[in-house]
Amino acid sequence: MGMDKVIEKKKGIQKKHIFWSLGILIVGFLIVKVVFGDHSSVFRAEKDKLTVSSVEDGIFNDYITVIGQVEPILTIFLDAEEGGKVEEKLIEEGEMVKKGDIILKLRNNDLNLSIMNSESSMAYQTNELRNTQIQMEQQKIVNKQQLLQIDYEIVRLARNYEQQKSLFVEGLIAKEDYMKVEEDYFKTKKNRDLIYMKLVQDSIFRENQKIQMDQSLGNMHLNLKVVQQRREDLNVKAPVDGQLGLLNAEIGESINKGQRIGQINILDNFKVNAKIDEHYIDRIVRGLTASLDRNGTNFNLSVKKVYPEVRDGQFKIDLVFEGQTPENIRTGQTYHVKLELGESQKALMIPRGGFFQSTGGQWVFVLNEAGTEAVKRPIKIGKQNPQYYEVLEGLNAGEKVITSGYEMFGTNDKIVF
């Protein structure tokens, strides 16, 4: 039986050690790459198809440009005082009118009949009041005659009383006859006092009644004028001098009472009405200055009125001219108005661009010094005007940023050119 052979262990680096070392190195490399590597997503783009702008250090002019429309400084609306059918149209839109000019004639048969009935009723009531006044005057005369008659009777009885008294003193008549004459005389005097008191009370009552009837007659005359004015209101007249700017009425059309049928523009001056994005609502106040250019000439304006309502993300303002007004200005013309929001100041600026719609001004892609790539960087935007955004944080003068739209970049963090 043979003896087993002892196998000696190989010394030195063996092949399996090499594989294990390589495996450890690869794993270590991957771990380092995962931990310390650049994980940003990359978008490859052609640089010449993008807009690249420099960050500038300069004077930022705080203004916005808005589109304004010329309007008359004052507009008077025409509302129908009475309803009716348009019978005649005397003045057309755009024509100049004088105060009192008849623009439309309306016809309303029901109103005419109602006015005639009112006139008849008031005429009847007026006659009744006048008849009452005549009767009162006649009664006043009767009362005076009654007082005159009793005064005459008292004079006669007083004379008879004195005669009978003398005869009684001389004993020529009986006492009974004397006393009867005396009683008639003093009774008539007391009766006169009562009649006089009654006449005074009647006189006071009649005066008060006369005052009330005079007031009633005065009111009736006023009512009659109002009723007659309703007939006159069927003629739609110009309330002021100006230009008939709008007229919504045609012959044969029925117009309701109170319906707005037109307007008159006062053309002695003009204003500019503009709509502004609600983003600026806290910065727009009365008194802000503005300007517009017409044929190379600048005209100054100021904000006269700020309307409080916001509609469709915009609010309105009225601007008036300060000093000179453009020649041949017409209602409805549009101008680009430069509205100053504040004083100019030194600031970092980047040109306006489509990037703002995607980022809201919260970040931009900034190019490296070599211009080979751009990386997303957070920034802070302040004010803006039609040309520039004011940069408050995140950029330095001279740096270059992509200012064109970012829609194509998606969610990538880096752009390689």
Residues 53 and 67 in one domain: no
What's 73's domain CATH number? 2.40.50.100
Residues 243 and 326 in one domain: yes
Instruction: Please compute Rg for the chain using Cα positions.
Output: 53
Residues 329 and 366 in one domain: no
Residues 95 and 114 in one domain: no
Which sign, positive or negative, has the C-alpha torsion 99, 103, 108, 112?
Answer: positive
Residues 165 and 250 in one domain: no
d(CA 118, CA 115): 5
If phi > 0 it is left, if psi is from -120 to 50 it is alpha, else beta; for residue 233 that is alpha
Strands 42-44 and 414-416: parallel
Number of domains in the chain: 3
- Of the three residues 296, 325, 342, the one that is the final residue of a domain is 342
How would you write the pLDDT of the chain (417 residues) with one tens digit per residue? 455 555 555 555 555 556 666 767 766 656 655 444 455 578 888 888 899 999 999 999 888 889 999 988 888 899 998 888 999 999 988 888 999 999 999 998 888 888 788 778 778 877 887 887 788 888 888 888 888 888 888 888 888 888 888 888 888 888 888 888 888 888 888 888 888 888 888 888 877 877 887 787 778 788 778 877 888 888 999 998 888 888 888 898 899 988 999 899 888 888 999 999 888 888 899 999 999 988 888 999 999 999 989 999 999 999 999 988 888 888 889 999 999 988 888 999 999 999 998 898 899 999 998 889 999 999 999 888 889 999 999 999 999 999 999 988 888 888 898
Residues 287 and 150 in one domain: no
Residues 49 and 125 in one domain: no
Q: What is the pTM of this model?
A: 0.54
Phi, psi of 328, deg, nearest 5: 55, 30
Residues 140 and 240 in one domain: no
Residues 311 and 373 in one domain: no
Residues 255 and 393 in one domain: no
Order of strands across the sheet that contains 102-107: 235-237, 102-107, 84-89, 254-255
Order of strands across the sheet that contains 380-384: 56-60, 345-351, 388-393, 380-384
Q: Would you state the structure tokens that stand for residue 412, as one six-digit string? A: 């990538």
